[in-house]
Amino acid sequence: DTGVSQDPRHKITKRGQNVTFRCDPISEHNRLYWYRQTLGQGPEFLTYFQNEAQLEKSRLLSDRFSAERPKGSFSTLEIQRTEQGDSAMYLCASSPGTTKETQYFGPGTRLLVL
């Protein structure tokens, strides 16, 4: 296992721009999760996929946010018309998808919106 990878690790953008993050889960992990972590807080759930199906979205995920997992492997998270309040660490995690399974986290993408 190479672990969960995320790209880019850091992103600085100007308010109003669109950004896209990528997550590559551990191979053969069916479930993929996105979380957001702001400074001094614990991560908060955004959305999750079972294979290519997006099965749950948090109320935190406004309509400016969209996530995809087109072939049930890697996933992308896009933020349109970024706002300063979107500045955070975006974390991806994957799990095998059976009961009681641990989620394995990537290193995160740190977004700063100026």
Partner 1 sequence: GNSVTQMEGPVTLSEEAFLTINCTYTATGYPSLFWYVQYPGEGLQLLLKATKADDKGSNKGFEATYRKETTSFHLEKGSVQVSDSAVYFCALSDRGGAQKLVFGQGTRLTINP
Could you tell me the sign of the dihedral formed by the alpha carbons of 79, 41, 107, 74, in that order? negative
Q: What is the signed CA dihedral for 76, 103, 29, 56, rounded to 10 degrees?
A: -50
Residue 25 touching partner 1 (CB under 8 A): no
Q: How far is the CB of 78 from partner 1 (least distance, A)?
A: 20
Residue choice 23, 24, 29, 43 for contact with partner 1 (CB under 8 A): 43
Q: How far is the CB of 33 from partner 1 (least distance, A)?
A: 7
Residue 107 touching partner 1 (CB under 8 A): yes
Residue 102 touching partner 1 (CB under 8 A): yes
Per-residue tokens: 76:
């992308």
Pairing of strands 109-113, 44-50: unpaired
Residue 7 touching partner 1 (CB under 8 A): no
Interface with partner 1 (CB under 8 A): 4, 31, 33, 35, 40-45, 48, 55-56, 91, 93, 95, 99-108
